[in-house]
């Protein structure tokens, strides 16, 4: 069963104003590049892991971590080869394979990557798609850009559920080999069915009134915080991270 990205929970993170979270995620990501201490990043990781567990539960948290694991692994394998200067920890003949500095660097890079991923994962798991759009419009993002994002939010789970239907449907007629089914028929059917939906979706959008009445305004409906409070609630933790 395919679900949307948002997870319904009553966590502390869920209660925070969506605009604050939307602003926090990118600013926090940028602020991480001012932190060059692996220990502090590790502490932040523990903190964010706890927030994530609270906001999305163990299952979704594990899924997120599994999703980024290959990239982290790749960083651990490749980065040390680029940083050869410093105190050598592993050498083969005259070739320095691993240094203390390389380990430090790879830890910093990996932890930054994990933290950025978690910050955005918490955002999309704890804010409804429509609230993300509303928040973006509150930040004066053009309506058409917000609409594109809405459609992406609609299309991702649609394509996922379409794939599931195609997988079931085709597995009833295709022969399964030792390594499972060949991927090509599934992908072709998925691509064609997805592309077929594009003109239908876009004409439906107009049939449902997109382009009518010129300018469209959605009701913001945010009552948790004022604009100033949103900005403050974001900048204070970011500044703390930077000064750490």
Partner 1 sequence: MLNIKGLSFSYQDGPLIFRNLNLEIGENKRVLIIAPPNSGKTTLSKILTGSALYYDKGHLEGSVEFDGKDLNELDIPERMGYVARTSQNTDEMLVFSTLFDDLEFESESLALDEREKNERKARALSLFGMEGFLETPFSEESGGEKKRAGLCEIFFISPKLYVLDEPFDDLSIYWRERLKEAILNENASFLVLGSHYLGVYDGLFDEIWRLDNGELFKYSKEPLPAYIEDIKSECSHTLRCENLFLKRNGRDGKSGFSLDVPHFEIKSGDKVVLMGENGSGKSTLSKVICGLIKNAKGSVELDGVSLDNKERRRSISYIMQNPFENLYMPTVLDELKTVFQGKIGKREEERIESVSKLFSLNLEDEVYKLSYGKAKMLQVAIFYLLDRDFVIFDEIDNALTYDESLRCIRLFLERGDGILVITHDEVFSTLVNGASLLIEDGRLK
Binding site for partner 1 (CB under 8 A): 1-4, 8, 129-130, 150-151, 153-154, 157-158, 160-162, 165-166, 168-176, 185-186, 188-189, 192-193, 196-197, 199-213, 216-219
Q: How far is the CB of 3 from partner 1 (least distance, A)?
A: 6
Residue with smaller CB distance to partner 1, 70 or 209: 209
Residue with smaller CB distance to partner 1, 1 or 95: 1
Residue with smaller CB distance to partner 1, 84 or 130: 130
Q: How far is the CB of 129 from partner 1 (least distance, A)?
A: 6
Check if the beta carbon of residue 23 is closer than 8 Å to that of residue 230.
yes
Alpha-carbon torsion (120, 233, 130, 213), positive or negative: negative
CA distance 131 to 146: 11
Residue with smaller CB distance to partner 1, 74 or 198: 198
Q: How far is the CB of 142 from partner 1 (least distance, A)?
A: 15
| Number of residues that make up the chain | 244
Burial of 143 (0-12, 13-18, 19+ CB in 10 A): middle
Closest to 86 (Cα-Cα) out of 97, 75, 73, 74: 97
Q: How far is the CB of 69 from partner 1 (least distance, A)?
A: 24
Give pairs for 206-209: CB < 8 Å, separation 24+.
none
């Amino acid at each position: 069963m395919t679900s949307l990205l948002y997870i319904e929970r009553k966590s502390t993170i869920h209660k925070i104003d969506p605009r604050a979270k939307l602003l926090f995620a990118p600013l926090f990501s940028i602020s991480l590049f001012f932190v060059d201490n692996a220990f502090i990043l590790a502490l932040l990781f523990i903190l964010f892991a706890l927030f994530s567990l609270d906001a999305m539960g163990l299952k979704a948290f594990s899924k997120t971590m599994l999703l980024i694991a290959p990239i982290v692994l790749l960083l651990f394998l490749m980065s040390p080869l680029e940083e050869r200067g410093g105190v050598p920890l592993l050498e083969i003949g005259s070739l320095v394979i691993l240094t203390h500095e390389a380990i430090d660097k790879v830890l910093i890079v990996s932890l930054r990557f994990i933290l950025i991923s978690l910050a955005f994962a918490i955002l999309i798991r704890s804010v409804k798609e429509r609230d993300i759009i509303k928040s973006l419009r509150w930040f004066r993002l053009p309506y058409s850009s917000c609409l594109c994002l809405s459609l992406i939010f609609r299309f991702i789970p649609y394509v996922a559920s379409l794939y599931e239907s195609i997988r079931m449907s085709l597995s009833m007629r295709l022969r399964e080999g030792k390594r499972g089914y060949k991927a090509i028929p599934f992908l072709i059917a998925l691509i064609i069915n997805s592309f077929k939906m594009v003109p239908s979706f876009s004409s439906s959008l107009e049939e449902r009134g997109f382009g009518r009445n010129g300018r469209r305004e959605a009701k913001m409906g945010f009552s948790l915080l004022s604009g100033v409070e949103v900005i403050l609630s974001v900048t204070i933790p970011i500044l703390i991270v930077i000064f750490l």
